[in-house]
Structures are given as structure tokens and as C-alpha cells.
Amino acid sequence: MNFTEMWDSSIHSDPEQVKRQKSAVSAKMTPISVDSALCSGSFKGSKSSIYSTTLNSCTCIDFTRRSLPCKHIYRLAHELHQFDLGGPVSSSSSAVLSKSEAMKIITSVLTEDEQKEFGYFCYICKNDNSGEKLINSSFADKLISYNLAQEVTDIPVLLSHLHIKEVRKFLPPGTKSPRLKKELIQIVAPLIHSSSDISFGDQKCLTLHSSIAHLGHALHREICRLYPQEDNDRNSWF
Ligand SMILES: [Zn+2]
């Protein structure tokens, strides 16, 4: 089914809908990915969230509230050549990779063991960079240099990876430390000016590079397929 069959064409001239079509043309609304076979796409949301969009659904708040095409649905329909936004549409040049493009880089620059470790890292980061992992510095630098990963700069997230004893070192002298790490982080985080003040020794705290952040699960599955694990448990049954 295509866009014109899904929605009564009269709704698109409603002033509220025209507003959303106008928002859809901006460069900020460039999709992270478009799957023309499935007629679906993903878009950057507020903070670091990612919206999944089809021609008749979207995970953003606007669609959840109104059940009418949001700016993401209009932009997706435009990208799939199913709707005319009635004017010039801007795209941001920041490269977003497809799964096959990302896999090409991964398999050509990483060794087999590195690919397996990267596959697990992808699994931790999920499809929206809601996860992060400490990685030894030499491998971390390699991932960063190939735009496969980037350093986490969110201070509370970084602190959560430190031992509570290390977090206490940021407390002003004479301050009593709360027993819970979570509470301690709330006190300490605003006192830290730069993420570079937090050190993990010979490790770095990484998340997927923004150009592939939407692919975490897909890359994990793809790498698992390349290197299936021998199922020792099943053999030991006999
Ligand atoms: Zn939406």
C-alpha cells in the first residue's frame, strides 16, 4: 500500500498538517536511514533517541498523540517519492551508513577477533546508543579512527562506569559521601567541567559512531552470522 492510499488526501491541506509538511523540508529532518523495500525509515529525535517511521506510523510523540501524519512520515513519504512537499527539501551532508556499507568497513579493517568484540559492543549499544562499553585504548583508538565508535562525553554516564571509590575522589574535601553511587553521581557530576577529567586508565568509554548508531542490533546479528559460535552446551547433553 502506498501513501496516497493510506491517508485521505483531504487531510494534507489541513493547516495543522501543512505545518508538519513545512517542518519536514529542513536539513535537520534528513532521515538516518530509509528502507525503500519496507517503506520505513528512522529519524533522529530529541536528545539521542531515534524514531522508527513507516508511511502510517511513527514512534514520535506527535504521532502517538494525534495518529495523523507527523513531520517524519511526510519526510519519509517524500524520500520514497510518494508525496510532494511542495518546495525545496534540504538534506544534511553528515554521512549515515547503510548496514552493508558499515559491514564492508568492519570486515575490511578489523581482524576476526576484533570483529567478534565489536559485534558484542554493537549489541550493548543497541539501536539508539543507549548503551556504552569500556574498551582497551588501542582497540578504542582503532574504532574511533575508522568512524566506527566515538567517546562518550556524558559525565553522569561516564561516572557510572567508575568504581564508587573513584567517584568519591571528585567530592570536595570534607563533604560526606552518600552510600549510594547513584546519589553520589548526582552530587559530583555538576562539579566536573570536562569529560576528559574522568579517566579509565588504559580503557576508553565508547559508544557507536553517530553514522552507524541506528544499526547496533543489525550489525550484531550480521557479525554473529559470520562467526557462528560452536554450541558446546548442546553437545554435552549426549
Ligand atoms: Zn514522527
The pLDDT of 105-112, averaged and rounded, is: 90
Instruction: Tell how far the Cα of 165 is from the centroid of ligand 1, in angstroms.
Output: 43
Instruction: Tell how far the Cα of 7 is from the centroid of ligand 1, in angstroms.
Output: 15
In this structure, are 75 and 103 located in the same domain?
A: no
Domain boundary among 16, 45, 79: 79
State how far the Cα of 8 lies from the Cα of 193, in Å rounded to an integer: 53
In this structure, are 73 and 137 located in the same domain?
A: no
In this structure, are 70 and 146 located in the same domain?
A: no
Which residues have a Cβ under 8 Å from the Cβ of 188 and sit 6 or more positions away?
A: 159, 167, 170, 171
Lowest average pLDDT, out of 45-49, 77-81, 200-204, goes to 45-49
Q: Is residue 65 part of a domain?
A: yes
pLDDT of residue 100: 84
In this structure, are 152 and 119 located in the same domain?
A: yes
The pLDDT of 74-81, averaged and rounded, is: 95
Instruction: Tell how far the Cα of 47 is from the centroid of ligand 1, in angstroms.
Output: 15
Q: Is the pLDDT of residue 231 over 80?
A: no
In this structure, are 110 and 201 located in the same domain?
A: yes
Q: Is residue 71 part of a domain?
A: yes
Domain boundary among 16, 44, 79: 79
Name the more confident of 32 and 149.
149
Q: Is residue 235 part of a domain?
A: no
Instruction: Tell how far the Cα of 46 is from the centroid of ligand 1, in angstroms.
Output: 11
Q: Is residue 68 part of a domain?
A: yes
Q: Is residue 94 part of a domain?
A: no
Instruction: Tell how far the Cα of 148 is from the centroid of ligand 1, in angstroms.
Output: 27
The pLDDT of 51-68, averaged and rounded, is: 95
In this structure, are 66 and 120 located in the same domain?
A: no
Instruction: Tell how far the Cα of 64 is from the centroid of ligand 1, in angstroms.
Output: 8
Q: Is residue 92 part of a domain?
A: no
Banded model confidence at residue 50, pLDDT cuts 50, 70, 90? confident
pLDDT of residue 47: 63
State how far the Cα of 55 lies from the Cα of 31, in Å rounded to an integer: 13
pLDDT of residue 138: 95
pLDDT of residue 49: 72
The mean pLDDT of the chain is: 90
Which residues have a Cβ under 8 Å from the Cβ of 226 and sit 6 or more positions away?
A: 107, 115
Banded model confidence at residue 131, pLDDT cuts 50, 70, 90? very high
Domain boundary among 79, 107, 132: 79
Count the domains in the chain: 2
State how far the Cα of 212 lies from the Cα of 100, in Å rounded to an integer: 11
In this structure, are 152 and 180 located in the same domain?
A: yes
In this structure, are 59 and 116 located in the same domain?
A: no
In this structure, are 216 and 159 located in the same domain?
A: yes
Instruction: Tell how far the Cα of 134 is from the centroid of ligand 1, in angstroms.
Output: 33
Percentage above 90 pLDDT, the chain: 71
In this structure, are 110 and 58 located in the same domain?
A: no
Radius of gyration for the alpha carbons in the chain, expressed in angstroms and rounded: 22
Task: Tell me, yes or no, if the pTM score tops 0.75.
Answer: no
Q: Is residue 238 part of a domain?
A: no
For residue 11, what is its C-alpha cell? 487531510
pLDDT of residue 235: 45
Instruction: Tell how far the Cα of 211 is from the centroid of ligand 1, in angstroms.
Output: 20
114: which DSSP letter?
H
In this structure, are 131 and 219 located in the same domain?
A: yes
Banded model confidence at residue 48, pLDDT cuts 50, 70, 90? low
Q: Which domain holds residue 156?
A: 99-229
The pLDDT of 86-97, averaged and rounded, is: 78
pLDDT of residue 215: 94
For residue 37, what is its C-alpha cell? 523495500
In this structure, are 60 and 163 located in the same domain?
A: no
